[in-house]
Amino acid sequence: MSRQGTSPQVKLLQGNEACAEAAIAAGCRFFAGYPISPSSEIAEHMSVLLPRVGGKFIQMEDEIAAMGTILGAAITGMKVMTATSGPGYSLKQENIGYAVMAEIPCVIVDVMRGGPSTGLPTSPAQSDVMQARWGTHGDHPAVALAPASVREVYDETIRAFNIAERFRMPVSVLVDEVIAHMRERVVVPDKASIVLWERPRPTAGPDRYLPYAETPTGVPPMADFGTGYRYHVTGLYHDPRGLPNDTPEIVDSVIRRLVGKIELGIDLIQKYEESGLMDATIGIVAYGSSARSAKAAIRMARTRGIRVGLLRPVTIWPFPERPVRDLATRVKHLIVPEMNLGQLVLEVERVVAGRCPVHRVNQVTGEPIPPNEILHLIMEVA
C-alpha cells in the first residue's frame, strides 16, 4: 500500500531493501553489481528502483568489473554504489584502492558472511572488519560503517554516500547477514529531512583547475568528465594536475594528504552510541548484530544487579579511539563480542593499552552470538 504524501512513511523492510531505498534517497543513480549471497537483494531492488528515477543499473560480468564500472560512472558526476559479500569484496579490493588514489566517491556495501573462501554463503559473520581496513594494498584511509538495525542500514547508507562525496573516497557499509536479511518496522525519514552532502566541485574555470590540489580540508574539488575540465586520472602517484609523478616530495605529500583528509574531517565521520555506561563497571564494545546480542545480555545482567553498559561504534573505521580509551578508564572490564576470531578487539586492545582487562567473546559457527554467551562472561568477571 502506498502512503505517499503522508510522511514519514512506515514500512516493513528487510535490511537489504532498506539499503537500496536509502541509496535512491541519497541520490544514487548508478549501480553495477554481480550476484552473490547474501547481498543479492540489494542489486535486485536497485534494478527495480533505478530506472524509475532515470538511473542506471547494470549487472556486470564479474565483481571486479562492477567496481570498475561504478568508478567510471562516478567520474562523470554520478553518485554510485555496488554491493557484494566476502568473496566479492576481496575481488573488488584493487579497484577500491584505485578509488582511494584517484579520489573517486563510491559506496561499497559488503554483506558479511562466513569465510574464508566460499565459507558460509548464507550465514552471518563479522569477518570482513580487517578487510575493510586493510583489504587493498598500500597505506590508505578507510571508512567503514556498521549498522545494527534495518533503520540504521537506511541511515548509514545515506551517511556512506555523504562521506564518500564530501571526502572523495570509497566508503564501505559492513552489514552482517543477520541485519541484511532481518525484517523490521522502519520509519522511513521524510525526504525533506534527509541531509545530503555533495562532492566539492570546481568554482574556477577549467584553465585554473587542479584536480588534485592541496586544500584546507585536504579534499580537492572534483570536476565531472565531459564538462570542459579536461584532466588526467591515474592510480599512479600524481602531481596536483593529475599527471604521473614519482618524485619523493610528491609521493610523500599525496599519501599524507589522502590519509590526513579523514583525520581533518573526523568529526563528520565518527559516530557511536553509548548506553547504560553512566554507572557501568563493565563495558561492552560491540557493533552490528553482535551489539543486539550485547544489549540483551546487558538487560539480563542488570536484572541481576550487575552494572553493564554498551559502547557501540557505528563508524568502525576510523576506529573510535577516544571514546574507547575514556571508557577503559571508567570501567573495570571491557568485553568485545564478535562473530569472528577477534578483529575489532585488536583495535580495542591497542587503544586500551592495559588500562583495564579486555575479554573476548568469539562465535564463528555461522550463528548469531547468543546473549547468554555474553552474560556468562559478564557474570564471570563481575
Q: Which helix (H) or strand (E) holds 338?
A: strand 333-338
Site string for another protein, 60-79 (x = CB under 8 A): xxx-xxxxxxxxxxxxxxx-
Q: How far apart are CA 287 and CA 283, in angstroms?
A: 13
Per CB under 8 A, which of residues 204..233 are in contact with another protein?
225-228, 230-233
| Rounded least distance, CB 241 to another protein, Å | 8
80 forms beta bridges with 30
Per CB under 8 A, which of residues 3..32 are in contact with another protein?
30, 32
Residues 346 and 300: beta-carbon distance below 8 Å: no
User: By CB under 8 A, which span of 122-130, 176-184, 237-245, 322-330 interacts with another protein?
Assistant: 237-245
| Rounded least distance, CB 302 to another protein, Å | 51
Residues 105 and 162: beta-carbon distance below 8 Å: no
| Rounded least distance, CB 32 to another protein, Å | 7
Closest to another protein by CB, 3 or 230:
230
Q: Which of 5, 52, 246, 305 binds another protein (CB under 8 A)?
A: 52
Q: What is the DSSP string of 172-222?
A: EEEEEHHHHH-EEEEEEPPGGG----------S-GGG--TT---TTS----
273 forms beta bridges with 312
Question: Beta strands 333-338 and 358-362: pairing type?
Answer: parallel
Site string for another protein, 78-117 (x = CB under 8 A): x-x-------------xx--x-------------------
**Three-state secondary structure call for residue 279:** coil
Closest to another protein by CB, 12 or 236:
236
Q: Which of 51, 139, 196, 260 binds another protein (CB under 8 A)?
A: 51
Site string for another protein, 241-260 (x = CB under 8 A): x-xx----------------
Closest to another protein by CB, 234 or 281:
234
For the CA atoms of 286, 96, 203, 263, what is the dihedral angle to 10 degrees?
40
Amino acid (1-letter code) at residue 359: H
Cell of 57: 543499473
164: Cβ contacts below 8 Å, ≥ 6 apart: 79, 105, 106, 107, 143, 170, 171
Closest to another protein by CB, 94 or 274:
94
Which residues of this chain interact with another protein, rule CB under 8 A? 30, 32, 51-52, 54, 56, 58, 60-62, 64-78, 80, 94-95, 98, 225-228, 230-236, 241, 243-244
